[in-house]
Amino acid sequence: MCAELRDAVVVDAVRTAFGRAGEKGIFWRTRAEDLCVPVVKALLHRNPAVKPEMIEDSIWGVTNQIKEQGGTLGRMVPMLADWGWEIPGCSIDRMCASGLTGIGFGVTYIASGMADCLICGGVEHMGHVPMGFMRDPHPRAEEVMGDASAFNMGMTAENIHDQFPQFTRGMADEYALASQRKTELAIEAGKMNDMVVPVEVELENGTRMLVEKDQQPRPGTTLEALSTLKTPFKENGRVTAGNAAGLNDGASAVLLMSRRMAEDLKLMPTMRWVASGVAAVDPRLMGTAPVPATQKALTRAGLTMADIDLVEMNEAFAVQALYCLDKWGLAPDDPRVNRWGGSVAYGHPLAASGPRLVAFLAGLFKENPSARYGLTTMCVGRGQGYSIVWENMTTG
């Protein structure tokens, strides 16, 4: 065990395309584990100095750990990648932030001197394992969480609208439109090309194809179309399918190392872990939790939001994004925030979204060497928030 914290760095980060959950989804005939294997293999293929025997743990975020996502998926993935039996693994559940928590655990694992090389990822196949599938809430769960709305993420977003009426349906739709437009521009500019790992899938007719394009984004979205969508969670509500993240299938993974090991292998890390923060709030307002989580991380880093050059925030719902930005003193169109679009457009395959944020920030750091600090942050079902502050290592 080391006496002082060591630098923990991100060497690389990749993901699958994100598909829509359900029978019309591109991954309907693909298992969750078979989404993970291509991304971990890609990490080593892209970094040939790293060999399977160097990986000291496989830490995977998985929200619904049942059926194909049960059985300690983190342990199974390295074996399914044909890397042998010697790589241990585990699965972590912090609902939406399961994958980001896995990365948070991984960087502290390395910083403490307990490991030098880890793969941390997240996966969710919401088509095969729907949210809440086979859960058995405690008889007092509704009582301790406030009321039944805490179980329904769409209702928690409606609760934010109710409690903070300054964030209107119109504002949420405008934010969603901006997310779609940024996403469309990023995809057209090829920003996803180096990040998305092709996955071979079987189609309904039995043929096979490579999938490397996100299915969820809706290019050409208009404000007029968004304004006509129904509000499924509440009569005359404000949350719609257009201003909320979708139900999706996908996997993302990150290669973490100690800075010393990366230097020994002559690898070029993209960013260094600075500080993490996790916080909890009223479960009925779960989307507000990134605010206290980020404050904890910033305080530990000795920074303020003014020091943050790039923000990757998971857009579970447009209204919760608007709330957080307002509390941070940022405008809805602040150029530091989600430059390549967010989950309202790409979708939100729960545990895969946290590592996706890290992959986006790593890519943005590469093309913005003058940016020094970045933030990855997300809200979590049951009223939690998770944030990590990173420092750019591509500045020369």
pLDDT tens sequence across 105-143: 999 999 999 999 999 999 999 999 998 888 899 999 999
pLDDT at 2: 58
What are residue 280's DSSP bridge partners? 384
CATH architecture of 8-128+146-389: 3-Layer(aba) Sandwich (3.40)
Q: Look-up: residue for tokens 């502290």? A: 108
pLDDT-above-90 percentage for the chain: 95
Phi, psi of 45 (to 5 degrees): -65, -40
Active site residue 2: no
Q: What is the mean pLDDT of the chain?
A: 97
pLDDT in tens, 233-289: 999 999 999 999 999 999 999 999 999 999 999 999 999 999 999 999 999 999 999
Alpha-carbon gap, residue 173 to 179, rounded angstroms: 10
pLDDT at 395: 78
Catalytic entry in 36, 117, 324, 379: 379
Catalytic entry in 96, 117, 120, 324: 96
Active site residue 348: yes
Query: What's the burial of 110, exposed, middle or buried (CB within 10 Å: 0-12/13-18/19+)?
Result: buried
Catalytic entry in 125, 128, 161, 348: 348
pLDDT at 72: 97
- For the segment 189-193, the average pLDDT, to the nearest whole number, is 98
